[in-house]
Amino acid sequence: MLKLSTLLLAGAAAATFATAPAVAQQKAPLTILRIIDADNYDPIRSTATAAAEVMYMLADTLVTVDFDMKTIKPGLAESWTISPDGKTYTFKLRKDVKFCDGRPMTVDDVVYSLKRWIDPASKSPVSFRAGPVKDIRADGDSTLIYELKEPYSDLMFQLALSFASVVDKATVEKLGANFGVQGFNGTGPYCWSKWTPRQELVLKKNPHYSWGPPIYKDPKPQIDEIVWKVIPESNTLMAAIQAKQADVTYYMPYIALDTMQRIPGMTVQRQDNYIYDVFMGFKVDKPVAKDKAIREAANMATNKEAIAKAIFFGKGQTLPSLLNPAVLDYDKSSADKMPKYDPAGAAKLLDAAGWKPGADGIREKDGQKATFTVYGIRNDSNPRISEAMQADLRKVGIDMKIQLWDATVAWGKLATQEFDAFLMSYPYVTATEAMSLYFRSQQVPTPNRMNWKDPKTDELLKSAATATDADKRKQALAEVQTQLTEANVWVPLVSQPLWVVATDRVEGVRAHGLYGAGLYKGLDLKLKR
């Protein structure tokens, strides 16, 4: 692996950067490399992690999340209380916050931003994350009342996500549909300067900013300018970092990480609490996928450990369960019920269920071939993951056909009923969020692409979401994790790791990872030269 990655790095560096201008000695900007851009940077209009990773620098939220991914910390709100019935949240706001244009933030700005998020006219694809809102209002000049129709145990975590960012009403109204495309005005540590789509986004330091969350040592930004540069090709990206043509990335190809760790002065660190999981989900009402034996056999036949080693070069972790073991309210007992890798056992299970091998080796039952089609996004890992699964399933007599699409059309395809299964990767913070997002009946046809409609699931998720007692929430989530594990609705595959690679020009780098944002607010970052 070392020889291959070294050759890739050296070759790409020579071919790509022979004529590129050196920037390593410039004090500014800090250049962050990534592989994809967002479609826009309006917090309520984009679900892309590529939008969130920048949004956390451009804007602030009422609360923040610590590096453990489980502890809520102050943000724009310096304190808060929750009523005994779990329906009313009272936030005391900071009084020293200013937008990038210098205007002081008021409680009315927060009310406006949150109401804009949930307004049906906004057509936000993430408005459901705000919970069953009854009213959001000001109480005096520095108190916000967030009132719910019923308890919503996940609210504080959702209010920490980029979708709940506070924005400037005047800028929104001035730019209209071009807000987050032609400009932005927020209270974050960095300010919008210039965006060239699919190339780079330039941010300037917010000169007023001094209210960074307490998870950082320094509440003020230390860098004058940050450039988010898009480098879609992996070899080019890793060559740029090695040649110090850029400073930081958390999109380093896994094959290159060992090499990077051996380069003097290069910092390579992992966020152990990062949650970004890969799974294959079945449409449970399709002719073949509706058979539980097929779904269970697929779980047993897939060599997840081999996938993690071969495709993620030992840097990823196999998912032992429906949810990531690091997530809040993870249930280990349900994980014990997840089928283990056992191809021979999978074959016996299919035999017992009446799926008999045909002349071509593909199993048949009642005239139906054991064939299904999986859709997914064409990226660096999905082709190899799907091909590895295809080979594993073929060994037990299941024919998995693969159709991957470019990201520009994939989401539209994944909203159809054309496919039998799909490959997906997603970030989340709590078990309530993950399960409610994908398994509630109300979420059909997307993101509940499994068409899973089950009254018990809905009841348990409702109980978890409205619980005011942590133990009751955990119990409800344990039951639903067990139910879905036993139903084999998903084949959990790999937990993608977050590795941040930085050159020796940068100090203060610490991997975060909330909703895919490896650098989060970007505070504590400094340039040595």
Distance (Å) of CA 497 to CA 27, 262, 278, 315, 374? 30, 19, 11, 7, 24
The dihedrals phi and psi of 494, each to the nearest 5 degrees, come to -140, 145
Q: Which of the listed ranges 33-37, 210-214, 230-234 does the model predict with the highest average pLDDT?
A: 210-214
The dihedrals phi and psi of 61, each to the nearest 5 degrees, come to -125, 165
What is the average pLDDT across 307-329? 92
Percentage of the chain exceeding pLDDT 70: 95
Q: In this predicted structure, what is the pLDDT of residue 27? A: 58
Alpha helix (H) residue ranges in 249-302: 257-262, 292-301
Residue 311 has pLDDT above 50, yes or no: yes
State the Cα–Cα distance between residues 98 and 104, nearest whole angstrom: 4
Cβ atoms within 10 Å of 515's Cβ, excluding its own? 25
**Amino acid letter, residue 64:** T
Ranges 24-33, 197-206, 253-262, 426-435: which has the least confidence: 24-33
pTM of the model: 0.88
Query: At 63, is the pLDDT very low, low, confident or very high (cuts 50, 70, 90)?
Result: very high
What is the average pLDDT across 197-215? 97
Nearest residue to 60 (alpha-carbon basis) of 34, 94, 35: 94
What is the average pLDDT across 308-329? 92
Distance (Å) of CA 226 to CA 40, 218, 240, 337, 368? 18, 17, 16, 47, 57
- The 8-class DSSP code of residue 516 comes to T
- Which sign does the torsion angle of CA 138, 140, 144, 150 carry? negative
Residue 12 has pLDDT above 90, yes or no: no
Q: In this predicted structure, what is the pLDDT of residue 4? A: 33
Q: In this predicted structure, what is the pLDDT of residue 529? A: 78
State the Cα–Cα distance between residues 231 and 3, nearest whole angstrom: 23
Extract the tokens encoding 134. 């009854």
Ranges 24-38, 334-348, 434-448: which has the least confidence: 24-38
Alpha helix (H) residue ranges in 159-291: 169-175, 234-242, 257-262
Element (H, E) at 459: helix 455-466
For residue range 436-467, list pLDDT tens digits in order. 999 999 999 999 999 999 999 999 999 999 99
Distance (Å) of CA 36 to CA 32, 198, 365, 428? 12, 7, 44, 20
Collapsing DSSP states into helix, strand and coil, what is residue 91? strand
Tokens 């913070």 locate to: 429
For residue range 476-496, list pLDDT tens digits in order. 999 999 999 999 999 999 998
What is the average pLDDT across 100-109? 98
Distance (Å) of CA 85 to CA 95, 101, 472? 29, 40, 14
Cβ atoms within 10 Å of 199's Cβ, excluding its own? 11
Ranges 231-235, 394-398, 510-514: which has the least confidence: 231-235
Extract the tokens encoding 483. 């139910």
Q: In this predicted structure, what is the pLDDT of residue 3? A: 33
Nearest residue to 156 (alpha-carbon basis) of 212, 85, 74: 74
Structural contact between residues 149 and 133, judged by C-beta atoms closer than 8 angstroms? yes
Ranges 15-29, 78-92, 142-156, 311-325: which has the least confidence: 15-29
**Distance separating the N- and C-terminal Cα atoms of the chain:** 33
Query: Any idea how long the chain is?
Result: 529
Percentage of the chain exceeding pLDDT 90: 88
